[in-house]
Chain A
Amino acid sequence: ETGVTQTPRHLVMGMTNKKSLKCEQHLGHNAMYWYKQSAKKPLELMFVYNFKEQTENNSVPSRFSPECPNSSHLFLHLHTLQPEDSALYLCASSHALRGPGNQPQHFGDGTRLSIL
């Protein structure tokens, strides 16, 4: 049990579909993150939320829309995705802070997304 739960674990969708990825953490953290992990590439940070406020959007296309209704839940809404968006999407959480990154991040096991 990682403390960070992502659903669904697998998702296949067409380019015109709308779907959402869900992340929930039970670790009492106040920072949450979305990452993209593609084959042969490093993890790419997409979004950061601190205390429910978005503090980082790493030039992510608008077809990805995050939502953080509270410190325990994070969503990634998907719309009109492209085949190159097929990847493993990982959610992470940590204690929030301002300054250097001295907080370990706790990851879920990801949603494997395939775009047809």
Chain B
Amino acid sequence: SQKIEQNSEALNIQEGKTATLTCNYTNYSPAYLQWYRQDPGRGPVFLLLIRENEKEKRKERLKVTFDTTLKQSLFHITASQPADSATYLCALDYGNNRLAFGKGNQVVVIP
């Protein structure tokens, strides 16, 4: 069966350090992978999209990698700030702009 796995344990990280989140998937062959941020009581907000033929994508302090051989994406927040505290969702395309989401990984940045 198809699975998208994100770490269920919250990531507690000191301000200024780099947070790294993992998204692993099985039985999918996505052409695109997206990352979203969700704050409590709010809807997800789109952050980054990476194509299967791209190794890495950057946006300000965010970086995403996509390894279709390992079936894995890594999401990095460099120089983390308390305002980065949120839940981060990985989403895989499975055609016609349909997205399958992981459960999300909570990040807590400690001042």
Q: How many residues of A contact B (CB 8 A)?
A: 30
For the complex, would chain A's binding face be called helix, strand, loop or mixed by DSSP majority? loop
A97 to B95, CA, bound (A): 10
Contact (Cβ within 8 A) B97 A41: no
In the complex, whether B13 has a CB less than 8 A from a CB of chain A is: no
The answer to whether residues A42 and B95 also contact, given A2-B43, A100-B32, A109-B42 and a CB cut-off of 8 A, is no
Chain A 19-49 near chain B by CB (<8 Å), digits 1 or 0: 0000000000001000000001111010010
Contact (Cβ within 8 A) A101 B31: yes
The answer to whether residues A108 and B31 also contact, given A45-B98, A48-B96, A101-B97 and a CB cut-off of 8 A, is no
Stretch at the interface among B45-53, B64-72, B78-86: B45-53
Contacting residues, chain B, for A74 (C-beta < 8 A): none
Chain A residues proximal to chain B, CB less than 8 Å: 2, 4, 31, 40-43, 45, 48, 50, 55-56, 90, 92, 94, 96-110
Chain B residues proximal to chain A, CB less than 8 Å: 4, 30-32, 34, 36, 41-46, 49, 51, 89, 93-104
